[in-house]
Structure 1
Amino acid sequence: MDGTSLTPEQEKLNALRQVLPEAFSEGKIDWEKLKATLGEDINFSNERYVLNWAGKSDAFKVLQMPTTKTLIPAKEESVNFDETENIFIEGENLEVLKVLQKSYFGKVKMIYIDPPYNTGNDSFIYPDKFSESKADYEKRVGDKDEEGYMTKDGMFKKNSKENGQYHSNWLNMMMPRLYLAKNLLRQDGVIYISIDDNEVHNLRLLMNEIFGEENFVAELIWKKRVSPANDSQWFSSDHEYVIVYAKNKENWFPIRLDRTEKQNSYYSNPDNDSRGPWNSAAYTCNKNKDERPNLYYPLINPNTGEEVWPKETAVWAYSKETHEEHIKANLLYWGGDGKSKSPRKKQFLTDAKPVVSRSFLEHSDVGSTQSATLDFLKLFDHNYFNYTKPIELIKRLIKISSESDKNEIIMDFFAGSGTTAHSLFEIKKELQGNQRFVCVQLPELCDEKGQSYKDGYKTIADISKERIRRAGKKIQEEIKSEIKKIESEIKKLQGEIPTDENKAEIENLKSKIEDLKIQDLGFKVLKLEDSNFKQWQQIEGKDAKALAEQMKLFVDPISENATIENMVYELLLKSGKDLNSKIEKKSSFYKINGNELILLLEKATQENIDSVIAEKPIKVIALDKLFKGNDQLKTNTVLQMKDAGIEFKTI
C-alpha cells in the first residue's frame, strides 16, 4: 500500500478482474485470453503445451553467460582446513554454480534447497535488465562496500505481488540455477526443493521442463505446524511441500528407513513362539468368490474341529496348497482362546523389512517450524531467522537418498542458516556417516537494526559458518561422551566370563569407537572472488589508444591482488579438479592429486623443468611470464614435455 489513490483506469481494471479473472496474467490483461473468453473467433499463435513467461529467453542468456569468477580459500574462517572434505562457499550462488560446473559435473548425489518462496515480501537476485552487458551484470552482482561486503541495493530486487512480472521474476531467478544444478547431479542423484503454495504450481512445471516430467518422483507434504494459526483469515497454513525429482528416475530409488522402536512395539509374543515377537495379518483378501473361486474353500480350526468358511465377498488370501504350508510352519493364530472364526497369519519381527518412505511427513517424525527454532537456540542465545527447516526433516531426506558408508556429496546452494550442514554432522554422529557437504550462501547483509547484527554477524553467511562451527564443536563433545560410555561397556564385558558372543560384541564396540573418532566435523571456507588473471576487455570501435592500454595491461596477465595459493585453487578448478584435491608443495612447483596435474607458478629453470618431468605428470600448467626473456627455455620445455607425453599449457 503506497498511500496514493486509484486512478480511474485502475478502478476499471479491478472491476474487470473481478468479473473475468481468467483474462489476466501477472496482473495485466492478456488480450488473446480476453477475446477468447468473450467468444470471439481467435487463433492462439504457436499453440502447444509449454511453460512460458516474460524474460524466459533472456534468462537463458544469463544461464549461458560464462563466469570469470573463481574461489579463493579463507583458512582463518575454516575448521581443520587441510583435512576436512566439507565445503562452505560464500558467494552468489548462480556464479558459484558456474564455477563448479567443470569440477563437480555429475558428482553430486543429493541436492536440497530452500529457495525464496516468492511470498511478495522476498528480495532476491534476478536479472531485470537483460540489455545490460556482461560487465554491468557482473558488477551489479559483485558490488561491495568499503569493508568488502556485497551491497544489498545493487544485488537484490524486492519482488512484490504488485509487480507486473511477479511470477516471471521468480522463474527467471530459479531457472538458470536449476539447470546448472542438474548438471552437477550424478545419474543416480536426486534433488529436493522446499516450497509453499505461492509457487509450487510453477515449480512443478519448471522442473518438468528442466528435469523431464518422467523424472518426477513425489510431492511430499510436510506438516510444519503443531497447532493451527488461529489468526489466519482463511485457512491455517499448516503445511509446505518438498518437490522431489531424480536426475534419472530409472537409476534412483529412495533407501528404506530403519524401523523405529514404536513400529517394533507392535510386535509381541503371546504364545511364546520360539521365533520371537510377531504381529498378525488378515487371512482374507478383498476379492469375492466369483472373482477367485479357488480361494473360496473351508478351513478346519485345529482347536475346535469346526469347519470355517470365508465370507463370499472376502475370500481367503491364500490357495489350499499355501495354506497347508502355513499349517506346517505354525504360522496360523486362532485368537487368544483358539476359537476365532478366521485365523490370522503370523509375521515375525525378524522378517520385518525396513520401512518405505511416505509422502506425508508428520511433524512428530521430522520436526516442525517450532522445533527448527529450538534446534537453532541450542547453539545461539537468540533466533535470527523467522523460517528455518528442522534438522530431523533434512536428516530424513539425506537418509533416504545417500548411504552413510559412502563418500557421497550432499549439496545446498541456498544454505541460509546452515541446517543442511548441521544435519549431516548429526548423521555422522548417529550413523558414523562418510558423506560430505558442499554448501553455498550469499554474504547477504543482515539488517543493522536486527539482533544478529547487534550480536556481531554482518551477513547471513557469517551466521551459517558460525552455526556449522558450533554444531561441529557440540557434536564433537557428544562423541567424546559417547566414546566414554562405550569404553565403560567394553570394560564391563571384559570382566565377564569370556564367550564367543561377548568377544564379538567387544570387537564391535571397539570398531564403533574408531569410527566415531574419525568423523569429519570440519569445513573449508572458500569465497567467490574475481579471477587472479586479468580478463581481456572487448574494445568497442577502433580506439587505438584504448587498445594500446589494454595490451599494456597484458604484459603481466596476473592481477595485482593475486597470490600463489589463490592461483593454485583457480587453476585446480579450471582444470576440473575438485576442491578436496590433494595439493602438495614441492620446492618449485605444486602437485595436484599425485601426478594428475603440476602447476609451475614461481620460477622456471632447466633444473626445475627437469624435476617436473621426473614426476611424470599427466598435465603441466605454467605461467608464461616465467619464461620472459628466455625463449629458448620455453621452446625446449615445450619439446621436452611433448617427448615425455605430457600435456603442457601456459597462461
Structure 2
Amino acid sequence: MDKLKMHSPNLVDANIEKIAALFPNCITESKDENGELKKAVDFDLLKQELSQVLVEGEQERYRLDWVGKKEAILTANAPIAKTLRPYHEESVNFDKTENLFIEGDNLEALKLLQENYLGKVKMIYIDPPYNTGNDFIYKDDFAESTDEFLERSNQVDEDGNCLVANTDSNGRFHSDWLSMMYSRLKLSRNLLKDDGLIFISIGDDEVENLRKICDEIFGSHNFCAKLIWNTEGNTDNQYKIKVNHEYILVFYKDKKFDEYAIGHVIDPNTPQDSNLRKGYADNNINKNNPENPPSIVELPIGFPCSENELFYEAKKLDEEFYKITQEEKFISDEIKEKYGLESKSGLPVKLDNMVVKNGKLVQPCRIYVGMANKNKLLEFIKNDNKEILDNDSPLSFYINSNAAVRYRKKVEKPRNILSVIRGLGMNRTEFVGDFFI
C-alpha cells in the first residue's frame, strides 16, 4: 500500500526550484535548524538580475506595506504536518460524489488542497470578516501549542478554530486583518485554473486595502470588476446615511482567458421580453454627439423596413444648418427647434422623402446623422442590403415604424453582466472566513 503523506507540500522549496530554473547563479546553500544543507536564494543578487540599474540597498516603490507582511508570506509558504480525514458516516454517497466539503481552519485546508487541486479550480468565492471592529479574525501562529493559544486568545469558533477579537482599538487593527487575508489569497491563487475567477465579498472598511493586496497577489492587470451588491434591509429606521450595499471584488487568474472565465450570463433582473433573451441585439444607429459627427448616407432602393408601407416627408435645410452642425459636430436641440426637426434623438434627418412599399424603399433616401457604426452600414448597403458578418455574428440594418434606422445583430451566446447586483437579498452569513471552492 502507498504510504499516506502526513504533510502538505513545501511551497518554499517549490518556489526556489522555479527561481533556480531562471537564475541558477542566484541559488546558494545554507543550513537549516537541523544542520542539513538546503538551497537558498541570494536575494541581493536576484535583485540585481531583475534591475536595469545598480541596486544599492532598499529602494522605494509603490506598494502596500504593513507590520507582519513578511510573516504572512512565510505563513502561506510554510508546510503543515496535517492531512484530511474522510468522515464516511457523515457523508452522502461518499464513493461516487464529486463534491468535497471540508471542516476546519481555512488556511490549513487551503494548504492541504495545494497538492491535488493546484491549478484545477474554476471559481473561488470568499466571504471573509469585513473588519468592522466588531468581528473576529483568525490568528495564524503554528509555533504555539493549542493550549497556549487558547489561553492567550480565549476564543474559538464553532469548529474549535482559534479566533481573536479584532477591535478598532487594536494597534495592529488593519495589519492583523491584512496578514490573515494575504496568506489565504496567496494560496487561493495557486488553486485557480488559468481561466479561473475569484470572488471576494467585502464592506467599506477594507475594500481599498483588499483591492491593493489583490493587485499585488493576482496582478493589477488581472482585475475584472468591483461589483456593488445592493443588499436589502429595513429602510424605515433613520440613519445619517444608510449603507445598503457591499462589494464583491473579482479577479482573473489570467485575463488572457477572460472569454472562458466569465462565460455568458444574463442578469436575472433583465426583462423577460428583452432582445438579449431572444438571442439578438437591436439598437438605433444614431449617435448624436461630437465623437460621432453627422454625415450624409444614402439609403438605396430596396433598403428593408419593418413596416409594409411608410412615408416620411423630407426636411428643407439651408447651408447655415450644415455649417453649424459641422462646426459643433452634432445636432443640438436649438438647431432642431429652429429647423422644425424631430426632437427624438433617435431619428436621422431625412433629406429626401422616405417612401416604403412592400417592406422596402422604392426610391433612394439620403439621411443626415451621426453614427458609431457607419462603416458597417455602408458595408451592408454595398452587399445589396443583405446580411453581413460582424465578428462572425450576422448583422443587418432596417428602418422601423418611426422612420429610425436600426441594426439587428444575432448573438448566439448573449452576455449581460451588470456591475450592480440587485434582487438577491442580503448577506446573512454568520461564519468567520468562509472559503467556497
TM-score band by shorter chain is: 0.5 to 0.7
- Which of the pair is proportionally richer in helix? 1
* Amino acid in structure 1 at the alignment position of 2:264: R
Cα distance per residue 1:430-481 (max 9 Å; x no partner)? xxxxxxxx5xxxxxxxxxxxxxxxxxxxxxxxxxxxxxxxxxxxxxxxxxxx
Matches within 5 A, 1:174-193: 174-193=181-200
Any idea what SS the aligned residue of 1:87 has?
Answer: coil
Normalised to the residue count of structure 2, the TM-score between the two structures is 0.60
The answer to whether structure 1 residue 82 and structure 2 residue 95 are counterparts is yes
Tell me what 2:420 maps to. 360
CA–CA distance in structure 2, aligned partners of residues 212 and 108 of structure 1? 18
* Amino acid in structure 2 at the alignment position of 1:414: D
Cα distance per residue 1:307-353 (max 9 Å; x no partner)? 75544656983544523657457952341xxxx4x4333637x6564
Query: Residues 296 and 316 of structure 1 are in contact (CA less than 8 Å); yes or no, is this contact kept in structure 2?
Result: no
Tell me what 2:72 maps to. 59
Tell me what 2:149 maps to. 140
Aligned length: 309
* Amino acid in structure 2 at the alignment position of 1:174: M
Tell me what 1:615 maps to. none
Summarize the Cα distance change of 1:139–1:73 in structure 2 as closer, same or farther, 3 Å threshold.
farther
Query: Residues 110 and 190 of structure 1 are in contact (CA less than 8 Å); yes or no, is this contact kept in structure 2?
Result: yes
Tell me what 1:116 maps to. 129
CA–CA distance in structure 2, aligned partners of residues 197 and 190 of structure 1? 22
Matches within 5 A, 1:81-480: 81-127=94-140, 134-136=143-145, 140=149, 151=160, 155-225=162-232, 228=235, 230-232=237-239, 234-253=240-259, 254-258=262-266, 263-266=271-274, 280-286=282-288, 291=293, 293=295, 295=297, 301-303=354-356, 309-311=366-368, 317=374, 319-320=377-378, 322-323=380-381, 325=383, 327=385, 331-335=397-401, 340=402, 342-345=403-406, 347=408, 353-363=413-423, 367-369=424-426, 386-387=428-429, 414-415=434-435, 438=437
Unaligned runs of 5+ in 1: 1-44, 268-275, 373-385, 390-411, 421-437, 439-651
CA–CA distance in structure 2, aligned partners of residues 320 and 151 of structure 1? 69
CA–CA distance in structure 1, aligned partners of residues 61 and 364 of structure 2? 65
- Identity among equivalent pairs (%): 33
Tell me what 1:489 maps to. none
Summarize the Cα distance change of 1:141–1:327 in structure 2 as closer, same or farther, 3 Å threshold.
farther
* Amino acid in structure 1 at the alignment position of 2:243: S
Unaligned runs of 5+ in 2: 1-57, 300-350, 388-395
* Amino acid in structure 2 at the alignment position of 1:89: I
Query: Residues 267 and 416 of structure 2 are in contact (CA less than 8 Å); yes or no, is this contact kept in structure 1?
Result: no
The Cα shift of 1:354 comes to 1.1
The Cα shift of 1:83 comes to 1.4
Cα distance per residue 1:522-557 (max 9 Å; x no partner)? xxxxxxxxxxxxxxxxxxxxxxxxxxxxxxxxxxxx
Query: Residues 124 and 158 of structure 1 are in contact (CA less than 8 Å); yes or no, is this contact kept in structure 2?
Result: yes
CA–CA distance in structure 1, aligned partners of residues 208 and 270 of structure 2? 36
CA–CA distance in structure 2, aligned partners of residues 95 and 138 of structure 1? 18
The Cα shift of 1:65 comes to 2.6
Normalised to the residue count of structure 1, the TM-score between the two structures is 0.42
Query: Residues 292 and 315 of structure 1 are in contact (CA less than 8 Å); yes or no, is this contact kept in structure 2?
Result: no
Summarize the Cα distance change of 1:290–1:180 in structure 2 as closer, same or farther, 3 Å threshold.
closer
Any idea what SS the aligned residue of 1:243 has?
Answer: strand
* Amino acid in structure 2 at the alignment position of 1:322: F
Query: Residues 216 and 244 of structure 1 are in contact (CA less than 8 Å); yes or no, is this contact kept in structure 2?
Result: yes
- Which of the pair is proportionally richer in strand? 2
Tell me what 2:310 maps to. none
RMSD: 4.0
CA–CA distance in structure 2, aligned partners of residues 310 and 388 of structure 1? 61
Any idea what SS the aligned residue of 1:57 has?
Answer: helix
